[in-house]
Amino acid sequence: MPGITIIKGKAAPLDRANVDTDAIIPKQFLQKVEKTGFGVHLFHDWRYLDLEGTQPNPDFELNKPEHAGANILLSRENFGCGSSREHAPWAIKDFGLDVVIATSFADIFYGNCMNNQILPVKLTDSEMNELFALVAEDSQTQFEIDLPNQQVKAGGKAYSFEINAFHKELLVKGLDSIGYTLQFEQDITAYEAKIPAWRA
């Protein structure tokens, strides 16, 4: 996977708290194990007026023309709560979102984002209020997320965020946890070769 350094684009506002994984991708769409094809079902019950997904809800934020093409999502606290389904970040990524900025995230969802090259950014309530206000005033506001320097830039301001050094390395190098482990494949093989047969 390509790594993340600088992400530029515009943001779509989802001004809701406790957005759970069932809202992100309802259970009826979890039959596949491939990571693609889930974007059309992202926020299905909010995006569509019918069960079949043929009638877009014009009042839903991501359906509004001014937010078309957004690659950044703004939300509130406890984003990604609920079940641990990894299909949730798959749907977010497949839809075209590379960054989710929120007050807080559910722990398992946060880790799943790292394994799927989605950058989850935590900012304070007051900082989120400023970003939502920026987008409300001008939906075309340009954002720049600078992962190496851990900053969100928008509206002439820079907002610093924290991220674990290990998670940051995964994102910058484009690795998931398995890919990270495989970097040490030769060392692992050499160690295993030293183990006596009776202990293997």
The residue range of the domain holding 148 is 6-193
pLDDT at 77: 98
Q: Which residue has the higher pLDDT, 184 or 11?
A: 11
Tokens describing residue 154 = 């928008």
pLDDT at 128 over 60: yes
pLDDT at 139 over 60: yes
Tokens describing residue 50 = 């019918």
Q: What angle is formed at CA 167 by the lines to CA 190 and CA 126, rounded to 5 degrees?
A: 170
Distance CA 136, CA 171 (A): 30
- Residue 182's pLDDT band (boundaries 50, 70, 90)? very low
Please give the tally of structural domains in the chain. 1
The answer to whether position 53 is within a domain reads yes
pLDDT at 177 over 90: no
- What average pLDDT does the chain have? 90
pLDDT at 153 over 80: yes
pLDDT at 147: 97
Q: Dump pLDDT digits (tens) for 83-115.
A: 888 999 999 999 999 999 999 999 999 999 998
> What percentage of the chain carries pLDDT values higher than 90?
74
> What CATH number is associated with residue 100?
3.20.19.10
The answer to whether position 200 is within a domain reads no
Token look-up 């320097």 returns 149
The answer to whether position 1 is within a domain reads no
The answer to whether position 198 is within a domain reads no
pLDDT at 30: 87
Query: Is 103:73 a contact under the CB 8 Å cutoff?
Result: no
